[in-house]
Amino acid sequence: MDNYGYHAPVLPEETVSLLITGPGIYIDGTLGGGGHSLLMLDRLALSFGEARSLLVGIDQDSQALVEAAGKLDRYRELTAFFRGNFSTVGAVVHEVLEGAGKGLPVMGILLDLGVSSFQIDTPGRGFSYLRNGPLDMRMDPDGPVTAADVVNGYEERDLASLFRRYGEEPLGGRIARALVAARNGEPITTTGQLAALVKEACPRKDLAIKTLSRIYQALRIEVNDELGVLQTALEEGFAALSPGGRMAVISYHSLEDRIVKRFFASEATADWGPKGVALREPLAPARATLVTRKPVLASAEEIERNPRSRSARLRVAQKL
Ligand SMILES: C[S@@+](CC[C@H](N)C(=O)[O-])C[C@H]1O[C@@H](n2cnc3c(N)ncnc32)[C@H](O)[C@@H]1O
């Protein structure tokens, strides 16, 4: 059995090499099974030996924290874990700097977005249209809203706009209409029911899987407010980095990647004020440099070994 039964880290070598530049505090905001964190700790130990570092792992899923704590046990002295949303990364860094990380620079933050293989493969979590389970999709099992609440509670026009916006699904209106008609009979409570209804509403059965995955993506984004928390985490995380510290983000769909790309580009651009006004100095200097000008993609060999890496895009920026 491989070491990554829970979740195989994506772009492992690329992420660690681009993120780690020196000893200090590294935040893994999406700890998952601890795959990336273990590689980061190995690299820190190998490259900087005795110099003190601290790996801080955040995840909103308590099962992930248990899994990762086991995997990282040999580095017990160098790790600290927080259960919560990575959008609170600013507060987490503040707490760490008051305690175990006192005096250390904040050198890196990693966000490997989305769900883990373990979460997808657990039918009870309701993330997969391939397995029947409750229509849940909460990454934080204590979160306030489930996918069933959205599917059964939203007005038809709001469902349609959700499917178009977050799923980029051209059949959003048609699917929303079908779901509302069905739920007027009985509520839609399982992933199996939802998958059957979406497939039935698709005129081209050969394209139904694409539509299903877009509808599931849209629901997951809504249930977990994925785009909102990403924007907050980018801003808070970047503010918390020490000069020279880096932020690495791996995204899996274009909506996330666009947010990351725009944020890094704006941090890396000086503000020269309104066009037509010649200034000698910018109103505000750039706050970052782009370490990756284009996203880093998985190699053919990695995609073969780990199909989940197919859609991964890694972007890295360094704080000035
Ligand atoms: C793709 S997995 C990370 C896998 C990890 N890099 C590894 O190598 O095992 C994403 C993890 O991030 C967590 N997660 C996603 N969004 C989160 C958020 N906003 N706050 C905290 N954790 C989040 C999920 O619960 C999941 O465990």
User: Which distant-in-sequence residues (6+ apart) come within 8 Å of 15 by Cβ?
Assistant: 9, 36, 39, 110, 112, 248, 250, 314
pLDDT tens-digit readout, 18-39: 999 999 999 999 999 999 999 9
Residue whose CA is at the smallest distance from ligand 1 atom 22: 59
CA gap 278, 14 in Å, rounded: 41
User: Which atom of ligand 1 is nearest the CA belonging to 116?
Assistant: 2
User: Is the CB of 7 inside a 6 Å radius of any atom of ligand 1?
Assistant: yes
At 270, the pLDDT band (50, 70, 90 cuts) reads very high
Question: Is the residue at 137 inside a domain?
Answer: yes
> Virtual CA dihedral for 164, 169, 172, 176, nearest 10 degrees?
-100
The residue range of the domain holding 86 is 12-112+226-319
Which domain-ending residue is among 169, 191, 224? 224
Domain count, the chain: 2
Residue whose CA is at the smallest distance from ligand 1 atom 20: 85
What is the mean pLDDT of the segment spanning 102-121?
95
Question: Is the residue at 311 inside a domain?
Answer: yes
- Pair (21, 108) in one structural domain: yes
- Give the CA diameter of the chain: 68
User: Which atom of ligand 1 is nearest the CA belonging to 139?
Assistant: 25
Residues 24/242, Cβ–Cβ less than 8 Å? yes
At 3, the pLDDT band (50, 70, 90 cuts) reads low
CA gap 167, 315 in Å, rounded: 22
- Pair (51, 74) in one structural domain: yes
Question: 284 phi and psi, to 5 degrees?
Answer: -140, 130
CA of 115 to the centre of ligand 1 (A): 6
Give the DSSP letter of residue 74: G
Question: Is the residue at 107 inside a domain?
Answer: yes
CA gap 225, 216 in Å, rounded: 14
Report the DSSP beta bridge partners of residue 79: 55
Question: Is the residue at 181 inside a domain?
Answer: yes
Residue 184 confidence (pLDDT) above 90:
yes
At 2, the pLDDT band (50, 70, 90 cuts) reads very low
Residue 24 is predicted with a pLDDT of 98
| CATH code (residue 180) | 1.10.150.170
CA of 183 to the centre of ligand 1 (A): 32
pLDDT tens-digit readout, 287-296: 999 999 999 9
User: Is the CB of 236 inside a 6 Å radius of any atom of ligand 1?
Assistant: no
User: Is the CB of 313 inside a 6 Å radius of any atom of ligand 1?
Assistant: no
Question: Is the residue at 119 inside a domain?
Answer: no
User: Is the CB of 88 inside a 6 Å radius of any atom of ligand 1?
Assistant: no
- Pair (178, 43) in one structural domain: no
CA of 72 to the centre of ligand 1 (A): 16
| CATH code (residue 106) | 3.40.50.150
pLDDT tens-digit readout, 232-264: 999 999 999 999 999 999 999 999 999 999 999
Residue 1 is predicted with a pLDDT of 34
